[in-house]
Amino acid sequence: MSTEGFPVSASHDEFNAQILEALEADESVSQRSLAKTLGIALGLTNLLLKRLVVRGLICLSRVQPHRVKYLLTPAGMAEKTRMSQLALQQAVTRYRVARGRLEVTLAEVAAAFPASVQQHGKPVMFLGTGELAEIGFICLQGFDLRLVGAFDDSGRARFFGVPVFSVERLSTGTLDQYGQARLIVVSLWDRARARQTIAAGDIPADRVYWV
């Protein structure tokens, strides 16, 4: 279903939650400011506000001839709480799924190292330093693996105390500087882009692991 050229779907729940949060913090916030915060068109912001009014979650209070203030209704407060709880539950579920996949991959990496590589932990490097990589670092603590570096173009210099190299430095040579480290792909890039980047670094397939 669409209205005035803007699609209306369940995907807008996230925008609705942000609108309710913003209005609770500042009832005088403008539509233009909301649109900028949400990163969506002004017209879509207007449409979402109208739908929240129709649902009885917010109401209008005219403060000037051409300016209105949006107020959360009791139903709006209850819906904001419900959506916050739902978002938390979804985040926990995503964390559990991600951790499960990471632990399977890390177990595979640990088993692939020669038995002689034991003294200071088996060296690994991450491709990516985002949320998935952060969960991966936590999971590493349950294995005899040691993070020695990461590759990313985020601009950060360190990741949990290890150096972060630009993706251009991704190569077998860089991995070999850290005891023939294995590469674990924890980036949320699409697979095609990640494979292209790894191929450009001439890294053997048996030294690359995917989450």
Q: Are residues 111 and 190 in the same domain?
A: yes
Q: Per the domain annotation, does 84 fall within a domain? A: no
Provide the domain limits for residue 13. 2-72
Q: Per the domain annotation, does 81 fall within a domain? A: no
Residue 99's Cβ-side half-sphere holds a number of Cα atoms within 13 Å equal to 11
CATH of the domain at 119: 3.40.50.720
pLDDT, mean of each 10-residue run, the chain (211 residues): 41 82 86 88 90 92 77 92 88 92 95 74 94 94 94 92 95 92 91 91 94 91
pLDDT for 40 equals: 87
User: What distance in Å separates the CA atoms of residue 9 and residue 21, rounded to the nearest whole number?
Assistant: 20
Q: Per the domain annotation, does 18 fall within a domain? A: yes
User: What distance in Å separates the CA atoms of residue 73 and residue 75, rounded to the nearest whole number?
Assistant: 5
pLDDT for 30 equals: 86
pLDDT for 117 equals: 64
Size of the chain, expressed as the number of residues it contains: 211
Q: Per the domain annotation, does 77 fall within a domain? A: no
pLDDT for 39 equals: 87
Contacts of 164 (CB under 8 A, 6+ apart): 129, 149, 150, 151, 152, 154, 156, 157, 158
pLDDT for 10 equals: 40
Q: Are residues 206 and 115 in the same domain?
A: yes
Q: Are residues 184 and 110 in the same domain?
A: yes
Q: Are residues 112 and 156 in the same domain?
A: yes
> Which of helix, strand or coil describes residue 183?
strand
User: What distance in Å separates the CA atoms of residue 70 and residue 49, rounded to the nearest whole number?
Assistant: 9
Q: Per the domain annotation, does 136 fall within a domain? A: yes
Domain count within the chain: 2
Q: Per the domain annotation, does 79 fall within a domain? A: no
Round the CA-based radius of gyration of the chain to a whole number and report it. Answer: 24
Q: Are residues 102 and 193 in the same domain?
A: yes
For residue 171, the 8-state DSSP code is S
Residue-by-residue DSSP string for 57-110 = SEEEEEEETTEEEEEE-HHHHHHHHHHHHHHHHHHHHHHHHHHHHHHHHHHHHH
pLDDT for 27 equals: 77
pLDDT for 11 equals: 54
Q: Are 17 and 84 in contact (CB under 8 A)?
A: yes
pLDDT for 67 equals: 76
pLDDT for 190 equals: 84
Q: Per the domain annotation, does 10 fall within a domain? A: yes
Q: pLDDT tens, 199-208?
A: 999 999 999 9
Q: Are residues 203 and 133 in the same domain?
A: yes
